[in-house]
């Protein structure tokens, strides 16, 4: 399981929490009290930090979200493999011209897509605002599948049961993740995605 998908308590149990004084504007309270928060995920060394809020509680919440996004972008896990290609089948296209590949709703699909991923899909669309709590977990799962498909969007989107444009849009919603994707594609002499 990718650490960005863990509940807050479980993720924080794997982390070290640091506090420090925040410099800069914000008044005397901000400069005298340790309100800045740095959360380090001990297994990976990846951090999330926040200091722009006046309260330590608010900064901890922001730092935890940034940690999730950094984990989603920088840490890869191996996604569960679908059982062969039996999770896809050919069906007549809605236009009546040829066939298109479609994810089955049975055993094969549920064996590798998380409940979160399936709950956020509507047909071939992904429904999740980038500010939503679930976004880092969806991004992590998407990037794990994209990486396992050698950073190619089409096989990754097919495997996730969404359109290629929807998958690209999801990753684009976090610029650091989209830059990572393009960097990996360039390393493989593939064109940059737009």
For 55-91, how does the pLDDT look when each residue is reduced to its tens digit (9 = 90+)? 889 999 999 999 999 999 999 999 877 654 444 433 3
Q: Which domain holds residue 45?
A: 3-74
Mean pLDDT of the chain: 83
134 with 171, same domain? yes
Q: Output phi, psi for 17, to 5 deg.
A: -105, 125
47 with 92, same domain? no
149 with 64, same domain? no
92 with 182, same domain? yes
Let me know if residue 194 belongs to a domain.
Answer: no
Let me know if residue 81 belongs to a domain.
Answer: no
- The pTM for the full model equals 0.80
pLDDT score at 172: 97
**Residue 29's CATH number:** 3.30.160.20
pLDDT score at 12: 96
């Amino acid at each position: 399981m990718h650490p960005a998908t863990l509940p807050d308590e479980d993720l924080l149990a794997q982390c070290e929490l640091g506090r420090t004084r925040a410099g800069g504007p914000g008044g005397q309270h901000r400069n005298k009290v340790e309100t800045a928060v740095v959360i380090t995920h001990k297994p990976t060394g990846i951090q999330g930090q926040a200091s722009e809020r006046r309260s330590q509680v608010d900064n901890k919440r922001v730092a935890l979200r940034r940690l999730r996004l950094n984990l989603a972008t920088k840490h890869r896990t191996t996604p569960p493999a679908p059982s062969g290609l039996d999770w896809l089948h050919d069906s007549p296209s809605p236009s009546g011209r040829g066939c298109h590949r479609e994810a089955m709703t049975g055993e094969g699909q549920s064996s590798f897509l998380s409940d979160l991923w399936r709950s956020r899909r509507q047909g071939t669309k992904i429904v999740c605002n980038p500010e939503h709590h679930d976004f880092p977990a969806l991004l992590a799962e998407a990037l794990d599948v994209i990486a396992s498909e050698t950073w190619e969007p089409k096989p990754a989107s097919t495997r996730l049961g969404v359109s290629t444009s929807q998958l690209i849009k999801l990753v684009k919603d976090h610029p650091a993740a989209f830059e990572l994707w393009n960097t990996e594609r360039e390393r493989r002499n593939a064109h940059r995605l737009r």
